[in-house]
Structure 1
């Protein structure tokens, strides 16, 4: 039986975006391990589903030519963008692509190494082993369902099937109390609220509709409201807190902005550079 006891979120949640994207290849095991070493309280990551129903980590729904390579190490042509769709490949094929050796100009500090898109189960096993070995506090897993209405059946399964596959891994690994499921797609959060009401949810937001309208569209009160950091205002934080909702903005990569947001009363931060957190 899955463990359904709730675990309280940290007083101030320091999240490593895609592990530690500014320092390691994103959504890889090395990125998660570095984030742990840097003392994050939550590992943020993105989930997709392969053709054979495996839950894996990836932000993009396909192999991205900007920072990923073909199995033999060759560059993908720009014309190949969108060609290698994860949902249309078995995981055994996906794993052969190199997602860490190519220089990524957006993140010049990122360490280059041969790496693959890991299974979520592999990440959980590695993280939990690290926690036991190093006797560090249990971290949370903030997992984004990468889905859109337009992508159903092309880039991912429909919301209920997506959520069920994700939760099956989470419950097999018995980490449900330490999981947050986040999404821009309200449909997956609505499925979670209906079928797995004890699971923490986070509504990702990049629009200017405002808290009231976004929550109306969601249809329930999430654990966390996670807006793009530039839209955070004192009034937003106050309004969310009045409803018992935590505010954790994304993706904050400058120390000055981190300090400004913390002074506004946000409940945590998501950053590509968790190495900056000790300076807060």
Structure 2
């Protein structure tokens, strides 16, 4: 069985998350799968963002989208209350505040004047690279406890599936979500596309099951892989998962990754794919092939 390296939000530990330059550099570094987060704007555009509100850590206001815009400044506003034009004014290339308490402040390279991309732009980028060997993992940000901030999960899933299909990526993509209503919708709309049921301790109550029932519930929801927070992965959990592959997140130390590999996980989701590539080399595991750069590289 191939054990995979999944770049989390691109490679959040190295470059700004969910951005075109960050994703492109992750492709060039080499991962089996490129993970990103998607939400829906006020004008129904699929945009890359991890948060349901504009984050003051990953985003900074630059200017209003038009003179006198009463919604400006946009930081702190709900993503689904802002249009793509408004969201595109944000600089998402510098992590703020840059201080030692932020675990990524010392390792993430700033890329100022970077804009929030759409899912379509990312798919175009991956297509331009010819990165057919890299699976695209699209996490749909949906929270059943905050319906005012989220679109209808079936409608949201349909929009994502349509965009993936438009770019010919349904056969080499995966739909991910903590909201398993998305997983169920994806199973119906795109049965040939992989589906990752995400789980963490804080959201277990969403699914009405605990402990031994989790893998079975994920299967019943339509998942093809179960993806728990790495602290949940134990020998007992792996035994319960049985033939359902397990992809653990977010694993940033080679030591913990090695423990998980020994337990038999199928994938490691990481902010630092460079560290995992070193571990893969040490273990003699097949490495993902770096994608050839689109631009000339100075030597």
Map residues 267-278 of structure 1 onto 2, 5 A cutoff: 267-278=266-277
Q: Tell me which residue corresponds to 1:107.
A: 104
Q: Tell me which residue corresponds to 1:47.
A: 38
Q: CA deviation at 1:106?
A: 3.0
Contact 2:197/2:218 (<8 A) preserved: no
Instruction: Tell me the distance in 2 between the aligned counterparts of 1:162 and 1:219.
Output: 21
CA offset digits 1:258-279 (Å, max 9, x no partner) = 1111111110100000111221
Contact 1:20/1:274 (<8 A) preserved: yes
Q: CA deviation at 1:72?
A: 3.9
Q: CA deviation at 1:198?
A: 2.0
Instruction: Tell me the distance in 1 between the aligned counterparts of 2:77 and 2:122.
Output: 23
SS at match of 1:246: coil
Is residue 228 of structure 1 aligned with residue 229 of structure 2? yes
Q: CA deviation at 1:225?
A: 0.6
Instruction: Tell me the distance in 2 between the aligned counterparts of 1:125 and 1:71.
Output: 26
Q: CA deviation at 1:203?
A: 0.7
- Give me the TM-score of the superposition, normalised by structure 1: 0.86
- Give me the TM-score of the superposition, normalised by structure 2: 0.81
Instruction: Tell me the distance in 2 between the aligned counterparts of 1:159 and 1:172.
Output: 20
Is residue 92 of structure 1 aligned with residue 89 of structure 2? no
Instruction: Tell me the distance in 1 between the aligned counterparts of 2:212 and 2:116.
Output: 34
Instruction: Tell me the distance in 2 between the aligned counterparts of 1:163 and 1:42.
Output: 20
Q: Tell me which residue corresponds to 2:191.
A: 197
CA shift in 2, pair 1:172/1:211, >3 Å: farther
Q: CA deviation at 1:211?
A: 4.6
Q: CA deviation at 1:137?
A: 5.3
**Counterpart selection for 1:141 from 136, 139, 145:** 136
Q: CA deviation at 1:151?
A: 2.7
Q: Tell me which residue corresponds to 1:58.
A: 49
Map residues 1-280 of structure 1 onto 2, 5 A cutoff: 11-72=2-63, 83-103=76-96, 104=98, 105-108=102-105, 109-113=107-111, 114-130=113-129, 132=130, 138-152=133-147, 154-207=148-201, 209-213=210-214, 215-216=216-217, 219-240=220-241, 242=242, 244-280=243-279
Contact 1:47/1:146 (<8 A) preserved: yes
Which ranges of structure 2 fall in alignment gaps of 5 or more residues?
65-72, 205-209, 280-299
Q: CA deviation at 1:185?
A: 0.5
Q: Which runs of 4 or more aligned residues in structure 1 lie more than 4 Å from their structure 2 counterparts after TM superposition?
A: none
Instruction: Tell me the distance in 1 between the aligned counterparts of 2:139 and 2:216.
Output: 18
Q: CA deviation at 1:82?
A: 7.1
CA offset digits 1:94-126 (Å, max 9, x no partner) = 011011134443312111122121001101111
Q: CA deviation at 1:217?
A: 6.7
Instruction: Tell me the distance in 2 between the aligned counterparts of 1:215 and 1:239.
Output: 8
SS at match of 1:252: coil
CA shift in 2, pair 1:221/1:245, >3 Å: farther
Q: CA deviation at 1:59?
A: 0.1
Q: How many residues align?
A: 258
